[in-house]
Amino acid sequence: MMILIADCGSTKINWTLLNGKEKVAQIFTTGMNALLLTEEEMKEQIKRELIPHLTNYKVDEIHYYGAGIISDEIKQQVVNALRANLPSAGKIEVASDLLAAARAVCGREPGIACILGTGSNSCYYDGEKVVMNVSPLGYILGDEGSGAVLGKLLVGDVLKKQLPEHLCEKFMKEYNLDYTTIITSVYRKPAANRFLAQFAPFLEHNIDEPAIHNIVLRSFTDFFTRNVASYPNYKELPCNFVGSIAHCEKAVLHEAAQALGITIGTIIKDPMEGLVKYHSAEVE
């Protein structure tokens, strides 16, 4: 049986094709946020970018996990766009990226699943479905621990001279920035969250600096106290993570969790490896 799994973000889509339990193809196409595109636009994009790679395969089943899947109406539009291009698929499942994270790191066991990438999110997962989700609220009101918020805290501390002078100078020089460029990019240009998230590597590369370590530790502590601590039995269940920030800053993540009595379980950078394992287990 041919199973097509899609891990879809706003920037790119990772399509992985399984023949039973064997991976036979991996295809990357442009990202697709279902909240921002019409059904027709999604159908045309899939036809143009994906279908040429699948001419030698007959897809029997599709599991699509994506950004912007916030209602049954949007979910159905994605189903329709997929079915129009892949009519051989008898089963098409469309779900949120949060369920993808939960299945990738928890499998079929209960746990807390978290995303720490450009944005952040979390949920309580009962082994089958997401049963509780504390709204992340985005990088202005929430998104604690995310790349965007870490970048925001870093830039704010640089501009207000809250970091040692050598770090402020190093940051501005490394990214070729000045005050006007930063303010314009944050307040007058689109995608300020991505602009801010691009500075996360600076934190990683300078994590041994006490001031930098404190920014990351404080934000991860906020993530746990403002999100994870709202879930039942959060100290008894493993807290699992997907995303580049969690993967790159796992030492500080463990430090924040330990101080709060929280147990870290699995940490993976990309949910696809976990999703392949999850769906491969369904094949007898």
- For residue 207, what are the domain limits? 106-270
The reply to whether 281 falls in a domain is: no
Dihedral sign for Cα 231, 233, 236, 238, please. Answer: negative
In sequence order, what DSSP letters do the residues of 137-204 get, joined into one string?
Answer: -HHHH--TTSHHHHHHHHHHHHHTT-S-HHHHHHHHHHTT--HHHHHHHHHTSS-HHHHHHTTHHHHH
Query: Are 7 and 121 members of one domain?
Result: no
Task: Please indicate, yes or no, whether residues 148 and 235 belong to a single structural domain of this protein.
Answer: yes
**Per-residue pLDDT tens digits for 226-237:** 999 999 889 999
Instruction: Check whether residue 129 and residue 191 sit in a common domain.
Output: yes
Residue 218 is assigned to a structural domain of this protein: yes
pLDDT higher than 70, residue 213: yes
Beta strands across the sheet bearing 120-125: 130-132, 120-125, 111-116, 239-242, 264-268
Single-letter amino acid code for the residue at 241 = F
Q: Which of 25, 59, 89 is the last residue of a domain?
A: 89
The CATH number that applies at residue 11 is 3.30.420.40
Please state the rounded mean pLDDT for residues 122-141. Answer: 91
In a domain, 54, yes or no: yes
* CA separation for the pair 60, 278 (Å, rounded): 17
256 & 138 share domain: yes
Tell which of 61, 89, 117 closes a domain.
Answer: 89
Q: How far apart are CA 204 and CA 227, in angstroms?
A: 23
Residue 280 located in a structural domain? no
State whether 258 and 156 are in the same domain: yes
Looking at the predicted structure, is the pLDDT value of residue 278 above 80?
yes
Same domain, 79 and 136: no
The model carries a pTM of 0.85
The number of domains in the chain is 2
Identify whether 259 is part of a domain. yes
pLDDT at 73 over 90: yes
Judged on CB neighbours under 10 Å (0-12, 13-18, 19+), 162 is: middle
For residue 279, tell me if it sits in a domain. no
The answer on 258 and 164 residing in a single domain is: yes
Same domain, 126 and 180: yes
Same domain, 63 and 128: no
pLDDT single digits (tens) 168-207: 999 999 999 999 999 999 999 988 888 999 999 999 999 9
Residues 124 and 12 in one domain: no
Between CA 260 and CA 244 the distance in angstroms is: 22
Residue 140 near residue 193, CB atoms below 8 Å:
no
pLDDT in tens, 74-114: 999 999 999 999 999 999 999 998 999 999 999 999 999 99
Task: Please report whether residue 275 resides in a domain.
Answer: no
Question: Which residues face 131 on adjacent strands?
Answer: none
Report if residue 221 sits inside a domain: yes
CATH number of the domain bearing residue 164: 1.10.720.160
147-159 vs 165-174: helix axis angle to the nearest 10?
A: 120
Kindly state whether residues 131 and 66 are assigned to the same domain: no
pLDDT tens profile 242-255 = 999 999 999 999 99
H/E segment holding residue 8: strand 2-8
| Strand ranges inside 218-284, DSSP E | 239-242, 264-268
Do residues 81 and 112 share a domain?
no
Residue finishing a domain among 41, 56, 89? 89
Q: How many residues does the chain have?
A: 284
Residue 250 DSSP SS3: helix
One-letter identity of residue 51: I
